[in-house]
Amino acid sequence: MNSRTRDALALVALMASTALAALAVPSLHAAEPVPAAGASAAADDSAPSSASRGYLARESVREWIRETSAERGLDRHRVAGLFARLQPREDILAKIAAPAERTLTWREYRPIFLGDERAADGRAFLIEYAETFARATERFGVPAETIAAIIGVETFYGRYRGKDAVLESLATLAFDYPPRATFFASELAEFLVLAEAEGWNPLEIRGSYAGAMGLAQFISSSYRAYAIDFDDDGKVDLFDSPADAIGSVANYLVRHGWQRDEPVARRWEPAADARDAARALVRKRLEPVVAPETVAALGFDGADAAGDARLSVMTFAGSGGEEFWVGYTNFYAITRYNHSRLYALAVHQLAEALATES
């Protein structure tokens, strides 16, 4: 679709909702004025069927707006006015279909996040915000390097925060991606509530294709539940306050089970005659379910560090062949941030690299 066609469709979609749009103020700040109803109508007389592409032409979307606005205390006319200005995004649907975590092996995934530049920038990030990291570690018990590694993997310490319009991405995924429609519809509602509470113009907020925002890439429900004001300026700002991002990452991990001074994961090299038995302990689910005694009996010497907690036995296709790893409770806590073992292992190894002199 060329941009002219897209613009025409957008306007037709807007006009299809004239009754709602004319009533609506698009956002709290109204940074962009709503075009007057009927503007440029002549240009669109030729393409009335395209109106079906607009969200407000769909009864299911209108019903969602009515119900969600009522449940969440939002002004439904204002919400409808926002939707009149959105378009389903084919590129977002293409991205969600093939996330790196599901298509790459460890051998392919690891170099993306463990290059020299990301480690060097991470050490500089730790130095620049040393006082903040020290406070976060003291209060939450999460090592500075782990917090920095998450921000490093998520956004290269804030360099890449995502350029997709969050509202449009979430609407696309909520209404045009059936496999996770329930989840994204929930995040869409959370985003509208968050934007209202924070005084954002929902149309201006940018993030990842899945609606993750700021240095720490919090989705809307996490932003509302776990983001904190850690520079004490009275605002929670994960977009422009590295201190708030650092404190929020630590808070998130603790709220998801992080244990102070406990290990994250250890490489394991089972003896040749124990490898099949070790492999048989690998589970698809991320939650640790293996008793420490079980891996101790197979020769793993880090089982004592688990205490009463369960462990995960994991295998990865590394550059040197199959790698065995044992994950502890803290490894699982990292997977609460992003539900992927590749992700958690990258965070763990980047954190170790940051803890080592270059």
- Which residue ranges make up the site for Ca ion (CB under 5 A)? 229, 231, 233, 235, 241, 244
* CA separation for the pair 42, 52 (Å, rounded): 18
In this complex, which beta carbon is closest to Ca ion, that of residue 198 or of residue 229? 229
The residue type of 219 is: I
In this complex, which beta carbon is closest to Ca ion, that of residue 6 or of residue 139? 139
* CA separation for the pair 188, 173 (Å, rounded): 9
* CA separation for the pair 207, 195 (Å, rounded): 14
Least Å distance, CB 126 to Ca ion, is: 20
Least Å distance, CB 149 to Ca ion, is: 22
Under 8 Å between Cβ of 76 and 69: yes
Least Å distance, CB 319 to Ca ion, is: 41
Burial-class residue 227 by CB neighbours within 10 Å (0-12, 13-18, 19+): buried
Let me know if 262 is a catalytic residue: no
Least Å distance, CB 218 to Ca ion, is: 14
In this complex, which beta carbon is closest to Ca ion, that of residue 178 or of residue 234? 234
In this complex, which beta carbon is closest to Ca ion, that of residue 145 or of residue 244? 244
Least Å distance, CB 55 to Ca ion, is: 34
Q: Which of 32, 59, 63, 154 is catalytic?
A: 154
State the residue number with the nearest CB to Ca ion: 229
Least Å distance, CB 198 to Ca ion, is: 12
Least Å distance, CB 73 to Ca ion, is: 25
In this complex, which beta carbon is closest to Ca ion, that of residue 101 or of residue 198? 198
In this complex, which beta carbon is closest to Ca ion, that of residue 235 or of residue 339? 235
* CA separation for the pair 169, 313 (Å, rounded): 36
Question: Which of the residues are catalytic?
Answer: 154
